[in-house]
């Protein structure tokens, strides 16, 4: 635990005034008017206010000393992480030439009023919105028979999936070029023949070819009702889309594939037929980050001495940005210097620096006087007169960047032919930087472990420092395997009800690798460490509520569902909204409590729990509680709520 900060003088303004009045009564008994309107009392309060300010500054001295001690043992505040989002730029009309969205384009939220600050995102990669047109039409059946129907549209149209559609049939559209990361609009003139399907939920998926595999495309909207009427289909093509050769024809291929119908999903009783197919590019999607991108900043010239410090123009530096320093050299031009966590193991001639990301300061290696009187450099010293610059870094971040879907809609950087912009999914990954109180609490832990991974707290601290963008990190001792498991939960997106896609809970391989490499350098010899995601136990809640007589039944159901998904959330769930505790079982009593406190609920009639496998989708029989292992977290799998009125 952290050392308590001493309060050198605990007197405050009113205490000083009262003490002064007591002295007045003792020393000057003839002074009897002690009201605030008396000029003498006014002078007492004035001096009390000044002394109170002096005492406040005096009590801050231990804080400053504590911060200095933290700096001496290498404890610095963890920087914030910036939220990321994919921004879709929509064209005002299809263009004949490529529309370029430059890297560094700024997009923000709307300002609610003049006092509100807009949240700004910056694109981290350029985007080419490439024009396209349809060149080929093919069909492939389940027997892999390929038929070219390019000329059929000029005669009498074509059946998209043969005369009798079956799951696995494919309708291929060849574009004159690849359109990676673009939104493509397909205009189709269809004959109402593909009857039998639900127009709102046809058994179809759209995919794009990258030269080796077919990748899923996100469907923006489909006004054809499953290729049953004339309309348009807009799909978002993945960034790996490439031109390839199929059946002897080179094109940028996309396809529509018939899938197996789901439970209760109707299937085609007749084959859909099209008379015309046109393709146009109407937009594109680029990655963005909630930060300002600063490029080519010159920090200054080196004085040629150890321990130099250079202040960055912007701070804090977000944890997700790649940061390095360049130093001018007459022989090599610009030398690249690498960032290190500390100078403890840096060689005297190693080109190293330490970044204080929270305060925005670049620190070069010091020189330490050894017992024999010699000086030992920890890191190379930039030559005198050498120019020091930072090619690029990101400033900003924080949890305020986790904006909802559609919130980013204002283009700050004007781009010709772009009519609007949107983030189709919520932004995720924004985490505030560490405050000083948390850093002070880490001080004794760091001093005790000295950077080594021994206790569970050591492993968690090192993992968080290696991957600050992770939402949760938890260490579990595996007694059976005789090792340690580091469980990593990534930041994920949720929909309007708070639901999470199970595939989003798999941490990125780069994050797991960074944590593993850092822990390998610090673990004790013989310690077996596994870095992985936790095991998720699916839970389905079926609840029956009775609403108040005047409550809106239609509004109460989504409110109840949202409350269930929030409560059983692995990242922000639980009673204190800090994430469902690892290993804690789910009990019906907790669900009763959550639902009973909702506005408009008169009574919770029934709550039933069912374990579920989030991978296979299988649900078990009803249970009173769903137990969790020590390395397990809860995952909400398809809750159901029924609302009745009196």
pLDDT score recorded for residue 2: 45
The ranges assigned to domains in the chain are: 13-72, 134-283, 293-395, 451-532, 535-645
Q: What angle do CA 339, 368, 360 make, to 5 degrees?
A: 35
The SS3 of residue 423 is strand
Q: What percent of the chain has pLDDT over 70?
A: 94
pLDDT of 26 strictly over 90: no
pLDDT score recorded for residue 3: 46
pLDDT score recorded for residue 64: 65
pLDDT score recorded for residue 98: 94
Q: Classify residue 616 as exposed, middle or buried by CB count within 10 Å of its CB (0-12, 13-18, 19+).
A: exposed
pLDDT score recorded for residue 6: 56
Q: Does the fold of domain 451-532 match that of domain 134-283?
A: no
Candidates 526, 521, 441; CA nearest to 483 is 526
pLDDT of 449 strictly over 50: yes
d(CA 323, CA 484): 31
pLDDT score recorded for residue 366: 92
pLDDT band of 153, cuts 50, 70, 90: low
What's this model's pTM, rounded to 2 decimal places?
Answer: 0.70
d(CA 118, CA 108): 6
Measuring CA to CA, how many Å separate 302 from each of 33, 383, 434? 66, 6, 31
- CATH class of the domain comprising 451-532: alpha beta
d(CA 297, CA 299): 6
> Residue 377: CA atoms inside 13 Å, Cβ hemisphere, count?
18
pLDDT score recorded for residue 172: 92
Contact 560, 598 (CB under 8 A): yes
134-283 maps to CATH 2.60.120: yes
The SS3 of residue 627 is coil
Contact 128, 284 (CB under 8 A): yes
pLDDT band of 192, cuts 50, 70, 90: low
Candidates 640, 645, 290, 642; CA nearest to 497 is 640
d(CA 241, CA 254): 9
pLDDT, tens digit (0-9, with 9 covering 90-100), for 89-125: 999 999 999 999 999 999 999 887 766 788 999 999 9
Tell me how far apart the terminal alpha carbons of the chain are, to the nearest angstrom: 54
Contact 511, 503 (CB under 8 A): no
């Amino acid at each position: 635990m952290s050392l308590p900060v001493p309060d050198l003088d605990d007197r405050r303004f009113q205490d000083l005034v009262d003490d002064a009045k007591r002295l007045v009564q003792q020393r000057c008994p003839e002074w009897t008017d002690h009201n605030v309107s008396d000029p003498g009392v006014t002078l007492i309060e004035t001096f009390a206010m000044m002394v109170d300010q002096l005492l406040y500054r005096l009590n801050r001295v231990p804080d400053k000393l504590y911060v200095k001690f933290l700096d001496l043992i290498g404890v610095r505040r963890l920087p914030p992480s910036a939220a990321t989002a994919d921004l879709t730029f929509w064209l005002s009309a299809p263009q004949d030439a490529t529309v370029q969205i430059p890297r560094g384009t700024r997009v923000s939220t709307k300002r609610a009023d003049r006092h509100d600050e807009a949240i700004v995102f910056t694109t981290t990669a350029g985007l080419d919105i490439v024009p396209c047109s349809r060149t080929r039409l093919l069909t492939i059946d389940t027997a892999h028979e390929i038929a070219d129907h390019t000329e059929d549209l000029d005669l009498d149209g074509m059946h998209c999936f043969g005369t009798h559609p079956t799951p696995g049939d494919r309708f291929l559209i060849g574009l004159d070029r690849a359109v990676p990361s673009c939104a493509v609009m397909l205009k189709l003139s269809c004959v109402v023949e593909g009857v039998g399907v639900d127009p709102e939920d046809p058994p179809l998926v759209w995919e794009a070819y990258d030269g080796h595999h077919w990748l899923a495309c996100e469907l923006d909207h489909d006004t054809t009702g499953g290729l049953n009427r004339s309309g348009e289909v807009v799909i978002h093509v993945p960034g790996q889309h490439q031109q390839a050769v199929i059946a002897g024809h080179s094109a940028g291929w996309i396809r529509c594939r018939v899938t197996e119908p789901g439970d209760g999903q109707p299937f085609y009783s007749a084959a859909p037929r099209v008379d015309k197919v046109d393709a146009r590019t109407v937009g594109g999607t680029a990655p963005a980050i909630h930060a300002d991108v600063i490029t080519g900043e010159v920090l200054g010239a080196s004085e040629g001495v150890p321990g130099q410090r250079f202040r960055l123009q912007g701070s804090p530096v977000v944890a997700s940005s790649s940061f390095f320093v360049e130093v001018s050299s007459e022989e090599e031009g610009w030398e690249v210097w690498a960032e290190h966590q500390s100078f403890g193991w840096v060689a005297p001639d190693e080109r190293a620096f330490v970044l204080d990301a929270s305060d925005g300061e670049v620190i070069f290696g010091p020189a330490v006087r050894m017992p024999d009187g010699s000086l030992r450099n920890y890191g190379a010293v930039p030559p005198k007169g050498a120019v020091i610059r930072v090619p690029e870094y990101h400033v900003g971040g924080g949890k305020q960047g986790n904006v909802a879907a559609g919130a980013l809609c204002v283009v700050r950087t004007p781009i010709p032919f772009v009519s609007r912009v949107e983030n189709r999914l919520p932004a995720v990954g924004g985490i505030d930087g560490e405050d000083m109180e948390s850093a002070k609490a880490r001080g004794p832990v760091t001093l005790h472990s000295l950077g080594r991974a021994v206790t569970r707290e050591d492993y968690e601290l090192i993992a968080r420092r290696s991957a600050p963008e992770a939402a949760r990190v938890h260490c579990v001792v595996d007694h059976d395997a005789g090792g340690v498991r580091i469980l990593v939960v990534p930041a994920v997106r949720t929909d309007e009800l708070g639901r999470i896609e199970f595939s989003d809970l798999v941490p990125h391989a780069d994050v797991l690798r960074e944590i593993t490499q850092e822990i390998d350098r610090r673990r004790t010899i013989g310690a077996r460490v596994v870095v992985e995601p936790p095991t998720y136990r699916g839970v389905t809640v079926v609840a029956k509520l009775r609403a108040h007589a005047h409550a809106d039944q239609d509004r109460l159901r989504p409110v109840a569902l949202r409350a269930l998904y929030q409560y059983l959330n692995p990242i922000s769930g639980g009673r204190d909204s800090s994430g469902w505790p690892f290993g804690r079982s789910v009990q019906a009593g907790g669900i009763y409590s959550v639902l009973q406190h909702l506005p408009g609920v008169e009574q919770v009639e029934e709550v039933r729990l069912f374990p579920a496998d989030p991978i296979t989708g299988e649900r078990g029989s009803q249970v009173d509680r769903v137990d969790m292992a020590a390395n397990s977290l809860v995952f909400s799998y398809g809750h159901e709520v029924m609302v009745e009125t009196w």
